[in-house]
Structure 1
Amino acid sequence: MAIFHRMLTVLTALTGLLVSGPAFAGMGQPSPWQLGFQEAATPIMEQINGFHDYVNVIIVAIALFVLALLIYVMVRFNERRNPKASRTSHNTPLEVAWTVLPILILVAIAIPSFRLLFAQYDFPKADVSITATASQWYWTYEYPDEGIRFDSIMVPDDKLKPGQPRLLAVDHEVVVPVGANVVVGLKSNDVIHNWAVPSFGVKLDAVPGRLQQTWFRAEKEGWFYGQCSELCGRNHAFMPIAVRVVSQDEYDAWVSKNKSAAVDTDGKVASAQE
């Protein structure tokens, strides 16, 4: 009875979580009581969500099958109903089944997994190229084709504007056009960092001495936030990532504005994203 009581307690707690807040996060940033992934804004994230749901169906089916099997065994083969234990040593069909079926299940998981992995690293021709350089504890972004460069630093609590999310808002955000293939090159000036934007399905390490690449194609306009996802030191939790997806016209205007901005002696755009 104790085990059934524990199961009932767990189910009650999960039900309480579901009814007390949204089960899924919104787009671009986490939500209170979030249980699922953030809403997808790119084809890759949609594929990740589909693969996640597909694997969860398999997991639940296996768990329910094993639970039913355990209950059947406890009821059908307990000591009271079977005072004389069976001396069966093996069952060839059963042994073949519990060897072959797990292999088939793993193959069924591996095929869409490889398809997703291929899609993540099948880089399309870049419409926009960005280089993100990590430092303790901020990001430096460069648009080499446009000649734009700026630092992106978290906005402290006492300077947040209405609507800006705490620990996620930055002074200068990345701006990209909707529907464009954006290739991001990642570097680090010191230790290992990680550039992650959940709604884009992007998460890749920035490693010192190495240029890594990832890509995304945002299909919805709006603000999308992420954070450094590799423990990088004292201020690791204060190194957010903000991406603003705009129309092509807005992006062209932003590029034009920042191209004409004054450039300081370091070659850095001085008035980027005022």
Structure 2
Amino acid sequence: MKKLFKRKTAVVGLLITVAVILMAIFAPYVAPHDPEKVELALRLKPPFWLENGSLNYPLGTDSLGRDVLSRIIFGSQKSILVSFLATVISCVLGVILGLISGYYGGTLDTVITRLGDIQLAFPLILLSIAVIAVLGASTLNLIIVFGIANWVVYARVARGAVLSVKEKEYVEGSRAAGCSDSRIIIYHIFPNICAPIIVIATLSLAGIIISESSLSFLGLGVPPPKPTWGGMLSEGRQYLYDGWWVATFPGLAIMLTVLGVNLFGDGLRDAYDPKLSTEKIE
């Protein structure tokens, strides 16, 4: 952690990520307006620094007179909820399968590896579109789809780490002392592979945010009128000339959030990498 906090970019990324999470949690108290309230008289009102803008609507309004800032704030809830829960599901599923595959090997290892290869043959976004088209668009379905679709990378990393750890002396000593397989995996192997798993989970979080926004942009995400960043981009694309702010600010929110998560993830990766010396820390 000392190495992590010595990296300025990692600290900036952590601050951005924490700010977005807090914004999502306290959205009802932070947002100045109801994000779903329609006010046609205020349609396409510009941001406050432009002519006819107002501080009441600092980032302007959309085509239905809804406050853009409030919709961005509430939209963060869906992005954070979907990405976090999907990451947890894929991490738990992938790590369990990877531990089993790497520790026991044999036919079980072959079956799990081949399943991963088959899933990797399908692009994530196309697989998500196909499943959502069948199951229907909802927050729960998005979480399930992204959770199941991302387990392979965790399984592969966990499997590789287990293969390098299970022959260590302390594992052989535990086995000779009569410890069960489950105890060896949980208490002796898993703690030693946590570092790469944490880094991958952090970095994949950003990818899921983009994927969720992409599906919402295509109309396969959370159904309207619930605000989502991708849905706001889709609604605002036809007003790029008359109301550029409708699509611009949600896009900036996505970019800033993904940037923050990636910077923090890169910092974690560098801090956990023993090959990097303290002299290289920025």
Q: So what's the TM-score if we normalise by structure 2?
A: 0.24
Higher strand residue share: 1
Q: Taking CA–CA contacts closer than 8 Å with sequence separation of 6 or more, which of the two structures ends up with the larger relative contact order?
A: 2
Q: So what's the TM-score if we normalise by structure 1?
A: 0.25
Higher helix residue share: 2
- Give the greater-gyration-radius structure (CA): 1
